[in-house]
A = this chain, B = another copy of it.
Amino acid sequence: MGTISFARGVPAPECLPVEELADCARAAIERDGRTILSYGSSGGYAPLREWIAERHRVEPARVLVTNGSLQGFVFLAQHFFAAGRGGRVLVEAPTYDRPLKILAALGAEVDALPVDEDGLEPDALAAALDAGTKPSFLYTIPTFQNPSGRTLSLERRRRLVELAREADLLVLEDDPYGLVRYEGEPLPSLFELDGGERVAYSSSFSKTIAPGTRVGYFVLPAPLEADLEALAVSTYITPALVSQATVHEFLARGNFEPNLERVRRLLGARRDAMLAALEREVPDDADWGRPDGGYFVWLDLPGEASVADLLPRAEAAGVTFVAGTDFYPRARGGASSARLAFSFVSLGEIDEGVKRLAELLRDGAAAGTTGTEAALRAGRSRG
């Protein structure tokens, strides 16, 4: 077995409905080729916008379909912070690393709010809203968060929406994983609780159909949609309509729910395998989350061991993951944490990878060796 990647937060190849999408692409182009093969609506393929709008009970003009949802985040960030305009934004810590990089590149002031097992701490949000300049928006991933796997509790969702209302704060609820739930009852989204006034919602078909389609979307207040759509026109004129029409064909054929069930079964088994392996292998003084869905388990190392120390040893031992520090603004946090993705690896790889990691954790704790020594020992133990 080669290097085992707990780093790749991407679906396993078995999740991808290849044959069905091949046929959907053919059918979509045959039916609507003269529209989707030309320049067209900058806001997205009209029938797909309508499908999304209906699902979220809004007008289609409030939906912006982009080449992956990150592209939409770029537009939102440019809208507020482009041309060195400055401004403040609130994020969770830890949070998805790519938005942090986009905000840093634009020179936004990024304020990190702490997260515990129940998600973003509302008191910290309240304090951040009382102090300093009014933030342009709060970026949050309330369900099966990347990287922590954590989910904001219902009580906190209500409190967050209330705080946003009091402070007239725009909230961006990023929800790529919400439908990839393995157990438990779905919680209402912030968007639903708020009625979509102050909460913008983003998601994509990357985790429910296939990432390579690059079909993400935002549901926005109408004036903000118009502003972001203008940025889309200035950036790419028209999004990838062939992909969007392919996704729409997949939806129109009624494939969405059955495919999602299949993905849930495939990935749910991997989550179970990872949690069982962690329970079996990892020293008692480590701690980790038990997510009901999504792609990630957040591991706190035993005795606050250093992840900067562990990662090179792990790579030498043939297992990789992402260091917790990557998910904190200016790397201020996560020094003793690791993000383990179970979505891409097989059940056998999960068992073996966790075993390798656990061995390193025991080694490190027992011997107090340096990373290099431990990596050498780990390397030998594989021989």
- The smallest C-beta distance from A174 to any residue of chain B, in angstroms, reads 14
- Is A33 in contact with chain B by the CB < 8 A criterion? yes
Residues of B within 8 A of A107 (CB): 83-84
Q: Are the C-beta atoms of A212 and B234 separated by less than 8 Å?
A: no
The number of chain A residues with a CB under 8 A from chain B is 52
In the bound assembly, the distance between CA atoms of A237 and B23 in angstroms comes to: 25
Q: Are the C-beta atoms of B238 and A240 separated by less than 8 Å?
A: no
- Is A30 in contact with chain B by the CB < 8 A criterion? yes
Give per-residue flags for A1-35: 1 if the beta carbon is below 8 A from chain B beta carbons, else 0: 00000000011010010110111011101100111
In the bound assembly, the distance between CA atoms of A238 and B44 in angstroms comes to: 18
5 nearest interchain CB pairs?
Answer: A84-B84, A18-B33, A240-B240, A26-B26, A22-B29
Question: B23, B26, B33, B82: which contacts A105 (Cβ < 8 A)?
Answer: B82
**Nearest neighbor of A240 in chain B, beta-carbon distance:** B240
- Is A193 in contact with chain B by the CB < 8 A criterion? no
- Is A221 in contact with chain B by the CB < 8 A criterion? no
- The smallest C-beta distance from A261 to any residue of chain B, in angstroms, reads 19
Counting every copy of the chain, the complex holds 2
- Is A64 in contact with chain B by the CB < 8 A criterion? no
- The smallest C-beta distance from A90 to any residue of chain B, in angstroms, reads 21
Q: Are the C-beta atoms of A239 and B214 separated by less than 8 Å?
A: yes
- Is A38 in contact with chain B by the CB < 8 A criterion? yes
- The smallest C-beta distance from A240 to any residue of chain B, in angstroms, reads 4
In the bound assembly, the distance between CA atoms of A242 and B250 in angstroms comes to: 15
In the bound assembly, the distance between CA atoms of A239 and B120 in angstroms comes to: 32
6 contacts across the A-B interface (CB closer than 8 A): A22-B29, A22-B33, A25-B246, A35-B212, A40-B212, A105-B234
Within 8 A of B (CB), among A244-295: 246
- Is A320 in contact with chain B by the CB < 8 A criterion? no
